[in-house]
């Protein structure tokens, strides 16, 4: 079994989900008392969030690249960045590594294509919905991507940062998310990408009428597959 390295802390809530999912995945595949060989480097999200707001992406890349190289030094044989938003600097992180890096959008795109879907709604932070670091890999795979209107994007971003990243799950927010998602489905989206690692804490397949692609779970499953390949 290869050792999985996780760059986490963005937020710690979703990083805990990654840890659970990779260990459950290894246990399901191998049985018995098996769990994942795993190392985690968890950053201080407040520092990363401030740099994001200030547009200091080079500084974000430097911090997270150092996290990745520390994981390799600790024995990681593959590295995952446990957040969608900071995949904006994924290329810089990958170039600093001497082991494979699994990109969350590319792993998700493969799953979307396997489902025979060619048009998805993308939900995430404002950065993820308005910048191209998650959209472009999907579009390069032949998948059309739509995002909510400005009001929907503002609501989703607010709920992510001020509720989900704080571990707060509100039924009223779930209803707002569902309303936005169902509107995008009516507009032609065949599936929904939960493109923030905290969103699956609020929204699941049972909540909406189109196939849901949980990037946290898909990313974790890709790590398990690599670790056991």
pLDDT tens digits, one per residue of 197-215: 889 989 999 999 999 999 9
Digit-coded pLDDT (tens) for 49-70: 999 999 999 999 999 999 999 9
CB atoms within 10 A of CB 53: 9
Distance of alpha carbon 162 from alpha carbon 129, whole angstroms: 17
What is the reported pLDDT for 35? 97
Digit-coded pLDDT (tens) for 132-171: 999 999 999 999 999 999 999 999 999 999 999 888 999 9
3-state SS assignment for residue 120? strand
What is the reported pLDDT for 76? 98
Q: What is the largest CA-CA distance in the chain?
A: 49
What is the reported pLDDT for 166? 87
H helices of the chain, where?
A: 12-30, 45-53, 57-73, 90-96, 104-114, 126-130, 135-140, 150-162, 171-186, 215-228
Q: How far is CA 204 from CA 39, 86, 169, 172, in A?
A: 28, 23, 13, 15
Distance of alpha carbon 67 from alpha carbon 148, whole angstroms: 33
Half-sphere exposure of 69 (CA within 13 A, CB side): 9
Mean pLDDT of 123-131: 94
Digit-coded pLDDT (tens) for 88-98: 999 999 999 99
Digit-coded pLDDT (tens) for 3-37: 999 999 998 988 999 999 999 999 999 999 999 99
Domains along the chain?
4-103+217-228 (3.40.50.1860), 105-214 (3.40.50.1860)
Digit-coded pLDDT (tens) for 70-89: 999 999 999 999 999 999 99
């Amino acid at each position: 079994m290869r050792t999985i390295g996780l760059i986490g802390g963005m937020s710690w809530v979703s990083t805990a989900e990654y840890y659970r999912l990779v260990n459950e995945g290894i246990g399901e595949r191998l049985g018995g008392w098996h769990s994942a060989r795993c190392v985690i480097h968890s950053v201080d999200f407040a520092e990363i969030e401030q740099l994001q707001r200030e547009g200091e992406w080079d500084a974000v890349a430097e911090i997270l690249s150092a996290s990745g190289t520390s994981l390799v030094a600790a024995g990681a044989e593959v590295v995952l960045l446990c957040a969608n938003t900071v995949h904006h600097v994924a290329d810089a992180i990958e170039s600093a590594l001497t082991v494979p890096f699994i990109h969350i959008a590319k792993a998700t795109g493969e799953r979307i294509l396997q489902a025979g879907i060619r048009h998805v709604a993308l939900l995430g932070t404002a950065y993820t919905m308005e910048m191209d670091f998650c959209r472009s890999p999907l579009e390069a795979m032949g998948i059309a991507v739509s995002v909510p209107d400005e009001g929907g994007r503002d609501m989703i971003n607010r709920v992510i940062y001020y509720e989900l990243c704080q571990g707060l799950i509100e039924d009223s927010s779930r209803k707002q998310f569902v309303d936005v998602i169902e509107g995008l489905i009516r507009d032609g989206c065949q599936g929904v990408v939960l493109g923030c690692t905290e969103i699956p804490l609020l929204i699941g397949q049972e909540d909406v009428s189109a196939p849901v692609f949980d990037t946290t779970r898909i990313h974790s499953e890709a790590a398990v597959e690599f670790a056991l390949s």
